């Protein structure tokens, strides 16, 4: 029993729709990103957090709800999480969210997780499009919850209302117990995400329809979006490729000579 007097935990997993990293290119003339031809996919590290959420549910019972902030078509990534096994999904979609940096983004997700009465909110280590890694700690900070980042493995401790994690640290690891509710960032590639079962897949495609929440519904309409974002993108430059000789040699001997020249 958790603090709500119900069996199991309310597990919320954040998923984001991103342009497929492999498809994003830079227009050499304008220096702008060509995102338009990139397919929209689920952020790769989020597969690890969905898997972790489902494993947690298997261990402690409860529900897994996928939560996404994004444009209306981002419901596709919620459907993907549902196909993998999430019970339900909520789409936070609103023009008011547009232009949010990590401060309002984590506020929105924190508010969504609180609205869902989450015991645990999971996210991927970072996103492939902006790779800040700031959102999971941001969720914890906005809600004044505990946090566990760079998580390799989770061990639930429901008797004590705690979640224990093995975390990756420089040069080793540590095991940390955090009080519920807690925000968790799973390390990328730490588990093997399951593939969607056929039944769930059909359900996700034909019947699943996520609830949609606006900023107003969460009472945060004045606290999100570009205007309240503390950071702004002041410009985007194409990273100049480092000039390299790009010379091909034919033999290991020649390679050894080159190495000798350099050292």
Partner 1 sequence: MAAVGEPDVDLDAHTDVWVFIEQHDGEVAAVSWELLGKGRDLADQKGEDLVALVLGEDLEESGIPDEAIDRGADRVLVADDPVFAPYRADAYGQQFRHLVEQRKPDIVLIGGTHTGRDFAGRVAVPTHAGLTADTTELEITPDQYEMRRPAFGGDALATIICPNHRPQMSTVRPGVFDEPSRGDGDGAIEQVEVVVEENDTKSEVLEREVGDVADITDAEVIVAGGMGVEGEFGPLERLAELLDAELAGTRDAVEAGWIDPARQVGQTGKTVRPKLYVAVGISGAIQHVEGMDDSETVIAINNDPNAPIFENADYGIVGDCDEVLPQLIEALERQEVAA
Site for partner 1 in 174-213 (CB under 8 A): 174-179, 182, 188-189
User: With respect to ligand FAD, which residue has the nearer C-beta, 199 or 244?
Assistant: 244
CA angle 15, 21, 23 (to 5 degrees): 130
Q: How far is the CB of 22 from ligand FAD (least distance, A)?
A: 9
Q: Are 77 and 71 in contact (CB under 8 A)?
A: no
The SS3 of residue 245 is: coil
Q: Which residues contact 240 (CB under 8 A, 6 or more apart)?
A: none
Among 113, 118, 167, 208, indicate the residue that binds partner 1 (CB under 8 A).
Answer: 167
The single residue among 62, 89, 138, 210 that binds partner 1, judged by CB under 8 A, is: 138
H or E, element range at 54:
helix 44-60
For residue 72, the SS3 value is helix
Per CB under 8 A, the list member of 33, 71, 76, 217 interacting with partner 1 is 33
Determine the interface stretch with partner 1 among 1-9, 57-65, 147-155, 201-209 (rule: CB under 8 A): 147-155
Among ligand FAD, partner 1, none, partner that 38 touches (CB below 5 to 8 angstroms by kind): none
Binding mask 71-110 for partner 1 (x = CB under 8 A): ------------------------------xxx--x----
Kindly tell me which residue out of 47, 145, 208, 213 binds partner 1, with binding defined by CB under 8 A: 145
Task: Residue 124: name its binding partner from ligand FAD, partner 1, none (Cβ under 5 to 8 Å by kind).
Answer: none
Report the site for ligand FAD in 15-54 (rule: CB under 6 A). 21, 44
Cis peptide before 65 (omega within 30 of 0): no
Nearest one of 180, 190, 148 to 165, comparing CA atoms: 148
Q: Per rule CB under 6 A, is residue 128 in the interface with ligand FAD?
A: yes
Contacts of 208 (CB under 8 A, 6+ apart): 78, 79, 82, 89
Residues counted in the chain: 263
The one among 47, 97, 150, 208 contacting partner 1 by CB under 8 A: 150
219: β partners:
none
**Contact residues: ligand FAD, CB under 6 A:** 21, 44, 128
């Amino acid at each position: 029993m958790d603090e709500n007097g119900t069996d199991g935990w309310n597990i919320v997993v954040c998923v984001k729709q991103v342009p497929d990293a492999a498809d994003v290119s830079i227009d050499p003339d304008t220096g702008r990103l060509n995102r338009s031809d990139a397919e929209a996919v689920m952020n790769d590290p989020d597969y690890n957090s969905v898997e972790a959420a489902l494993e947690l549910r298997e261990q402690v019972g409860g529900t897994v709800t996928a939560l996404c902030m994004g444009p209306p078509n981002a419901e596709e990534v919620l459907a993907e999480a549902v196909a993998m096994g999430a019970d339900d999904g909520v789409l936070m979609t609103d023009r008011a969210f547009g232009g949010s940096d990590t401060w309002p983004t984590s506020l929105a997700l924190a508010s969504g997780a609180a609205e869902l009465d989450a015991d645990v909110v999971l996210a991927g280590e970072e996103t492939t499009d902006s790779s800040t890694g700031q959102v999971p700690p941001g969720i914890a900070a906005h809600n004044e919850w505990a946090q566990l980042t760079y998580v390799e493995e989770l061990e639930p401790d429901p008797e004590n209302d705690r979640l224990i994690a093995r975390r990756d640290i420089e040069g080793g690891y540590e095991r940390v117990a955090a009080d519920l509710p807690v925000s968790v960032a799973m390390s990328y590639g730490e588990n093997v995400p399951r593939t969607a079962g056929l039944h769930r897949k059909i359900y996700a495609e034909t019947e699943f329809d996520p609830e949609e929440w606006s900023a107003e519904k969460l009472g945060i309409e004045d606290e999100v979006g570009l205007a309240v974002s503390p950071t702004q993108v002041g410009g985007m430059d194409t990273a100049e490729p480092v000039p390299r000789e790009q010379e091909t040699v034919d033999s290991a001997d020649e390679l050894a000579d080159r190495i000798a020249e350099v050292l």
